[in-house]
Amino acid sequence: MIKTNPNLLNTSFKKEVFEGLTSFPKHLSSKYFYDKKGDKLFQDIMAMPGYYLTDCEFQILSTHTETIGELFRDRENGLDLIELGAGDGKKTKVLLKYMVENNFNFTYKPIDISENAVEMLSSNLSEEMPRLTVDAEVGEYFEVLERLKGFNKRKKVIMFLGSNIGNLKHPKAIDFLSKLKDAMLPEDLLFMGFDQKKNPQTILNAYNDETGITAAFNKNVLTRINRELGGNFQVEKFKHWEMYDPENGTAKSFLVATEAMEVTVEAINQTVNFDQWETIHTEISQKYDDKIVSWLAAESGLEIETSFTDEKEYYKNYLFRKA
């Protein structure tokens, strides 16, 4: 087993980079795609014609705004609307606008791993909806789960859009959903997006655009290691590769070394050797159908209250309660 001085692994980024690059096969977490550059690249991805997820969920929220909003409303005590992975808030703003204009008593709490995204969203909302009460926070999903239990004075609605649940394999998704359930009271709701199984080519096209935006986004994890941890990855010598298995509904992203090389990461005193065509697994994006979502809910102690889909039935937002 490869070791380093534990004192060097004093941030989660350093620790996970060390563990990922010393594993076989190698892996790095997709959460480290996101910094100022990564946020911009992801916004570019969401604007691509082939990346259907954003448009489908935006259509759902735009078509069913009143129905969803009124399911959220609590006329007696108001509510806390807590969004995990809020990003730029483009889709959520449709709901927020309805709730503000219809005099909902609520606080919006966006949470995101990207400090840049949280600052930009908070600034935009203060200009666009000055009457809206915003209590933003920077953090990872799993970090904030314990703190969610403290929101117990009135109804809370937890939102998790963008099919971000798909970044977790089923066992970890069940663990995550179970922890969300544990933080919920009987009147609380969980509103979550799940990308649906569909033509495999449609899915591949969404993650493998010809313009190279997704490749740049995938490689941004290496750029961050270079900049923040003193790495010397030759980013251009890694190829973005995407695959999709329609049987289990798993899309996977890889970075593939196009030649043998040695890489050093100074901040963690690490030297890593790559064989030609060796991979770094960077992301999974799970696809679902009603059976899988029902199973995940049952395993997690949740039940589906209702669901909403787009006109192509590419994507669904499910509303859950504690079972």
pLDDT tens-digit series, residues 214-226: 999 999 999 999 9
**Long-range Cβ pairs for the range 255-260 (8 Å, 24+):** 255/218, 255/219, 255/221, 255/222, 255/279, 255/280, 255/282, 256/280
pLDDT tens-digit series, residues 76-110: 999 999 999 888 888 999 999 999 999 999 999 99
> What whole-number distance in Å separates Cα of residue 237 and Cα of residue 249?
29
pLDDT of residue 5: 66
The CATH T-level fold of domain 64-196+288-322 is: Rossmann fold (3.40.50)
The neighbouring-strand residues paired with 251 are 244, 285
Domain boundaries, the chain: 6-48+201-286, 64-196+288-322
Please name which of 178, 143, 180 lies closest in space to residue 160, comparing C-alpha atoms. Answer: 180
> What whole-number distance in Å separates Cα of residue 276 and Cα of residue 273?
10
Instruction: Give the 3-state secondary structure of residue 305.
Output: strand
Instruction: Give φ, ψ of 251 to 5 degrees.
Output: -95, 135
Low-confidence ranges of the chain (pLDDT < 50): 1
Whole-prediction pTM = 0.89
